[in-house]
Amino acid sequence: MAADHQPHYPLDPSLVAAQLAADPRVAQAKKLLDEAEKEHQKKLTAIRPVNPKLKMSYSQMLADFSNYRSIPLWFPYIGSGIGHGPFVELADGSVKYDFICGIGPHFFGHSHPLITETGIDSAISNTVMQGNLQQNVDSLELTKTLLDLSGLDHCFLSTSGAMANENALKLAFQAKFPAYRVLAFEKCFVGRSLAVSQITDKPSFREGLPPMLHVDYLPYFNPHHPEQSTRQAIQAFEQAIHRYPKQHALICFELVQGEAGFYAGTKEFFKEMMELARHHGIAVFADEVQSFARTPELFAFQYYKLQELVDLVTIGKISQVCATLFTKEYKPKPGLLSQTFTGSTSAIKASLAILKELVHGGYYGPEGKIAALHRYFVEHLSRLSEKYPDLIQGPYGVGCMVAFTAYGGDNKKTTDFVHRLFEAGIISFIAGSDPMRVRFLLPVAALTHRHIEEAMKIIEQTLKESH
């Protein structure tokens, strides 16, 4: 984005929409709503237990919701609709620390004034959902911004990370036709749609589904054996392309394996694998739906200095609206990419505001907010690991993505711990298996050292109680 924060495509003042946005009554309404929200947020500054008077009705809500969905909720979580930074209020009256950000979107925490303001702007902006046939200037602005920030040639917006990944697959397959196979890494997660669930390395996610794609898996980087694991990955790569000559269209990279437990590779590992793929004419696809904006650089491929090697990149979660970014070599033929919805106007406007704050808010670089918060959080987890070596190993991860192994990675004990931690007031989540890890997606923009210190006391106590 430009340093002056000015939009690329400002509305002309003669347009009625511009006149409405500039109407002083709108500014006054924003001011009143902001004051009201902040006044009520003052009541949400600490963890709070369940209100006993709401327990029965809340239990019924949970039972109804699980029945309507046909599957139970993983956490007994139904939000009330307000929060304050890292705190979120549930409909049972409890208040909890949200250290998983709803699996990613809430980087700024809950009820952030920046997001509230964009929601108000969206409420007076025409159309709830923007789509392929009717898009406002917001979509154009967001597309241009993402291209400027990524350095890639084209950007196609979409409503979900799975759809962004599906679009990346289609672009690669069309460009590399008739090649039809996919290379991916063990323990990867690419999504749950019919196609990408075939790549996600978790058999239970595709149980009962018909086979859709042909996937060959490679071993991922092992930090304990860097040279050996790199050799093994190269060997597996060469075996696959020897067995299926010229049949691989793309190779999928999670630069930080999120669902697996925050396993991170290195620049050297990725560079060697990507250069090998390029040599064999195989498209390089970086799935950043979870890692986008969470490493010490905006894009993980920029953090690992792989700008010259990626062909397709997908983003989501923090960005609110998802996107597939790609080089001009993968420009699609007419008809390949389309959709009813690009995204809601509120999500698109929020995305623009979030990107502006991320780029200009001091989040990136070695001394940025993300790196600093990572160091502080990891220091505390490391102390716990030293204090209770039989209970906790780690921590692991990069930037806002932090995990640790509890109870030797036992699946049942780890799952039980995460639920107990929820009851104690901290929302985390599980990742991976054998070993299973406890993971956090930290709301960096909302966290302070005090929050982390308070949370660590709860984590320590819950670890000891669950042992």
Please provide the DSSP assignment of 64-92 as one string: HHHHHHSS--SSS--EEEEEEBTEEEETT
Structure tokens at 445: 């923009």
Is residue 44 pLDDT above 60, yes or no?
Answer: yes
pLDDT value for 3: 39
The domain locations on the chain are 43-103+365-467, 128-360
Structure tokens at 378: 């990891």
The answer to whether 54 and 92 have CB atoms below 8 angstroms apart is yes
Structure tokens at 249: 């269209």
The answer to whether 443 and 86 have CB atoms below 8 angstroms apart is yes
Is residue 197 pLDDT above 80, yes or no?
Answer: yes
5 band by pLDDT with thresholds 50, 70 and 90: low
According to DSSP, the residues that pair with 437 across neighbouring strands are: 431
Site of tokens 């490679």: 218
457: left (phi over 0), alpha (psi -120 to 50) or beta: alpha
Give percent of the chain above pLDDT 90.
95
In the predicted model, what is the mean pLDDT of residues 98-127?
Answer: 95
Question: Reduced to 3 states, what is the DSSP secondary structure of residue 134?
Answer: coil
Question: Reduced to 3 states, what is the DSSP secondary structure of residue 2?
Answer: coil
6 band by pLDDT with thresholds 50, 70 and 90: confident
What tens digit of pLDDT does each residue of 324-335 get? 999 999 999 999
Mean pLDDT for the chain overall: 96
Question: Is 128-360 assigned to CATH 3.30.559.10?
Answer: no
What tens digit of pLDDT does each residue of 115-152 get? 999 999 999 999 999 998 999 999 999 999 999 999 99
Give the count of alpha carbons within 13 A of 95, CB side only: 15
The answer to whether 270 and 253 have CB atoms below 8 angstroms apart is yes
- Note whether 43-103+365-467 and 128-360 share their fold: no
Question: Is 43-103+365-467 assigned to CATH 3.90.1150.10?
Answer: yes
E-strand ranges in 213-353 read 214-218, 248-253, 256-257, 263-264, 283-288, 312-315, 322-326, 343-344
The answer to whether 130 and 348 have CB atoms below 8 angstroms apart is yes
pTM of the model: 0.95
Helix (H) or strand (E) holding 435: none
Is residue 1 pLDDT above 50, yes or no?
Answer: no
Which residues, including other chains, have CB under 8 Å from residue 356's CB and lie 6 or more apart? 1, 5
Could you tell me where the DSSP H helices lie in 48-203? 55-69, 113-123, 137-150, 161-175
Is residue 155 pLDDT above 70, yes or no?
Answer: yes
First-residue to last-residue Cα distance in the chain: 49
Structure tokens at 213: 């794609």
Cα separation, 159 vs 345, in Å, equals: 11
pLDDT value for 2: 38
